[in-house]
Amino acid sequence: MSEYDPGKVICSCARVTCGDIADAVAAGAKTVDDLREATRATAFCGSCTDRVEAFLNDVLSGQAKPAAQPQQPAADPGQLVAPIFRQVCDDIWYVGASDRSADWFEKQYPVPDGMSYNSYLLLDRSTVLFDTVDQSVREVFLRSVETLLNGRPLDYLVIQHMEPDHAATLGEVLRRWPKCQAICTAAAKKMIGQFFGPQLSGRVQEVRDGVSMMVGKHILSFHTAPMVHWPEVMVTYDRTSQTLFSADAFGTFGALDGNLFADQGNFPMDEYRRYYTNIVGKYGGPVQQLLNKAAGLGVSRICPLHGPVWRQDLGALLDKYQKWSTYTPEETGVVIAYASIYGGTELACQALANALSARGVRSVRLMDLSRTHASYVISEAFRASHLVLASVTYNGDLFPHMENLILQLKHHGLKGRTVALVENGSWAPAAARKMDELLTGSGNHVLPKKLTLLSTLKQAQLEEIDAMATAITESMK
Residue 2 makes CB contacts below 8 A (sequence gap 6+) with: 58, 63, 64, 65
Q: What is the DSSP letter of 103?
A: -
Query: 53, 42, 34: which is closest to 16 by C-alpha?
Result: 42
Query: 35, 34, 32: which is closest to 19 by C-alpha?
Result: 35
Residues 425 and 393 sit within 8 Å (Cβ to Cβ): yes
Residue type, 124: D
Strands (E), 115-272: 115-117, 120-123, 127-130, 156-158, 181-184, 204-206, 212-214, 219-224, 234-238, 243-245
Which stretches of the chain drop beneath a pLDDT of 50? none
Burial of 24 (0-12, 13-18, 19+ CB in 10 A): buried
Question: Cis bond leading into 229, ω under 30°?
Answer: yes
From the DSSP assignment, how many helices (H) and strands (E) are in the chain?
15, 27
* Rounded Cα gap, residues 417 and 405, in angstroms: 15
User: 3-class SS at 171?
Assistant: helix
Residue type, 8: K
Residues 187 and 257 sit within 8 Å (Cβ to Cβ): no
pLDDT of residue 80: 67
pLDDT, tens digit (0-9, with 9 covering 90-100), for 419-453: 999 999 999 999 999 999 999 999 999 999 999 99
pTM: 0.82
pLDDT of residue 73: 52
* Rounded Cα gap, residues 395 and 368, in angstroms: 20
pLDDT of residue 78: 61
Share of the chain above pLDDT 90, in %: 83
Residues 447 and 334 sit within 8 Å (Cβ to Cβ): no
What is the pairing mode between strands 451-453 and 445-446? unpaired
* Rounded Cα gap, residues 419 and 429, in angstroms: 19
pLDDT of residue 75: 54
Burial of 157 (0-12, 13-18, 19+ CB in 10 A): buried
What angle, rounded to 10 degrees, do the helices at 314-325 and 284-295 form?
Answer: 150
pLDDT of residue 39: 81
Residue type, 252: T
* Rounded Cα gap, residues 366 and 133, in angstroms: 38
pLDDT, tens digit (0-9, with 9 covering 90-100), for 369-384: 999 999 999 999 999 9
Q: What is the DSSP letter of 31?
A: S
The phi and psi torsions of 385 (rounded to 5 degrees) equal -85, -25
* Rounded Cα gap, residues 303 and 128, in angstroms: 14
pLDDT of residue 40: 76
* Rounded Cα gap, residues 366 and 388, in angstroms: 9
